[in-house]
Amino acid sequence: MSGDNNLTEPVGTRQPVTHGAQRPHGQVHCLVVDDEPSLRRALSRALERFGFWSIEASDGQEAVRILEQVPIDMIITDVQMPGMDGITLLRMVSDRWPDIAVVVVTGVTEVSIAVSCLRAGAHDFITKPFQLDDIQARVEQALEKRRLILDNKRYQKDLEGMVQDQAYRIEELFLEGVQSLASALDARDAYTRGHSARVALYSMRMARQLGLSDAEVQLTELGAGLHDIGKIGVTDEILLKPGKLTDEEYKSLMEHPVIGARILDNLLKNAPEALSIVRSHHERLDGRGTPDGLAGDEIPVQVRIVTVADSFDAMTTARPYRGARSAEAAFVELRRCAGTQFDPDVVEAMIAAFPPSTVFPIPTPDNVKPRIPHSVVGVGTDSRNGIKMYD
């Protein structure tokens, strides 16, 4: 019985029917849905007397059209209407506009329907016949319930954000500790002091040269800074031995990638690329490396980058048994081993990343704090990462 033709036109072809002049901000916006024009208007006027802004629809379909265009806080809807009925509307509202409070108006004989509506997400119901004065209390109760639900959602979101921030901070503090350890390990040997920090810098520059994303660059830098952490499990006797290592000693030394990956396994669970750098930085392109004998594309590009950076820094810094090679000589050696030990594209990226005037080894960067890119929260905009320090 949708007798009011003026109310069935699509919204947008005319001004929605309201009894207020303009829809002010900060006022509660109500939508009254009923196919009975006199009842609908009476409800709408009552709402305006209570201080709400009100708009009307004669059935569920018109209500949806209004909801798609007008922000609404509360709906008072009849259940039995031609076209889309109140229950269908309620389900749609629960699905598409879950923050809207819905009050269902129903006859006394339809109490079971009202209960179904409550189960489907209605905030309250009003039974017909009703006194308009009773409406205010029910409406305000429904709005209060809505406000509590929205507050609760907000608190939950804030709490989740706080918990997430703290988790990141804890992760960072752990990583800072681990990186301090990596620096301390490098410093055990005067010849390797600053090695990890320089490898991180070379790797970062190569990763950028190769066009990796900001997140990939950060992960490369992170893994590079920690790549030798497993040397904590190698004795000073072996690590600082000035002469050639025995086969047994070399075997023990080369356990450091696996030890490192084991140490960082849990800490870098959200950064598997960085973890793979720690485990695989002694792999070779031709599959003759350790510990897994990975070859070609089985070795992630971040690992192939760090492998080149690691070797370049080793070559361009002095050792007790040999002097430092020049950068030119190191580049020649990298190219000679391209295709067997190293990825040729990565070698070229290393050479291209530094202008010919660069003095190697580059000064050891300091105060670079390790960061795991927060890939789900805007990688590339995190100004706290260490990358900026190298620019």
Residue ranges in contact with Fe ion by CB under 5 A: 228
Indicate the residue among 113 and 264 with the shorter CB distance to Fe ion. Answer: 264
User: Closest approach of Cβ 310 to Fe ion, in Å?
Assistant: 6
Indicate the residue among 172 and 189 with the shorter CB distance to Fe ion. Answer: 189
3-state secondary structure 42-111: HHHHHHHHCCCEEEEECCHHHHHHHHCCCCCCEEEEECCCCCCCHHHHHHHHHHHCCCCEEEEEEEHHHH
Q: Count of CB atoms within 10 A of residue 141's CB?
A: 14
Instruction: List C-alpha distances in Å: 32 to 48, 59, 66, 103, 323.
Output: 11, 9, 11, 10, 86
User: Closest approach of Cβ 256 to Fe ion, in Å?
Assistant: 6
Check residue 246 and report its DSSP letter.
P
Indicate the residue among 11 and 234 with the shorter CB distance to Fe ion. Answer: 234
Task: Specify the DSSP element, H or E, that contains 330.
Answer: helix 327-336
Structure tokens at 136: 């205010």
User: Closest approach of Cβ 164 to Fe ion, in Å?
Assistant: 33
Instruction: List C-alpha distances in Å: 53 to 20, 21, 183.
Output: 7, 9, 66
Indicate the residue among 171 and 228 with the shorter CB distance to Fe ion. Answer: 228
Structure tokens at 218: 């950060």
Structure tokens at 305: 């980058």
CB 179 within 8 A of CB 225: yes
User: Closest approach of Cβ 282 to Fe ion, in Å?
Assistant: 6
Indicate the residue among 43 and 229 with the shorter CB distance to Fe ion. Answer: 229
User: Closest approach of Cβ 253 to Fe ion, in Å?
Assistant: 9
Indicate the residue among 28 and 206 with the shorter CB distance to Fe ion. Answer: 206
**Which stretches of the chain are assigned E, i.e. beta strand?**
29-33, 53-57, 74-78, 101-107, 124-128
Report the chain's C-alpha Rg in angstroms.
34
User: Closest approach of Cβ 335 to Fe ion, in Å?
Assistant: 22
User: Closest approach of Cβ 340 to Fe ion, in Å?
Assistant: 18
Indicate the residue among 104 and 239 with the shorter CB distance to Fe ion. Answer: 239
Q: Indicate the Cα dihedral angle 145, 150, 152, 157, nearest 10°.
A: 170
Q: Kindly report the backbone phi and psi dihedral angles of residue 280, in degrees, each rounded to the nearest multiple of 5, phi listed first.
A: -110, 10
Comparing every residue's Cβ against Fe ion, the nearest one is: 228
Indicate the residue among 186 and 228 with the shorter CB distance to Fe ion. Answer: 228
User: Closest approach of Cβ 237 to Fe ion, in Å?
Assistant: 18
Structure tokens at 212: 């990796």
CA 95 to the chain's CA centroid: 25
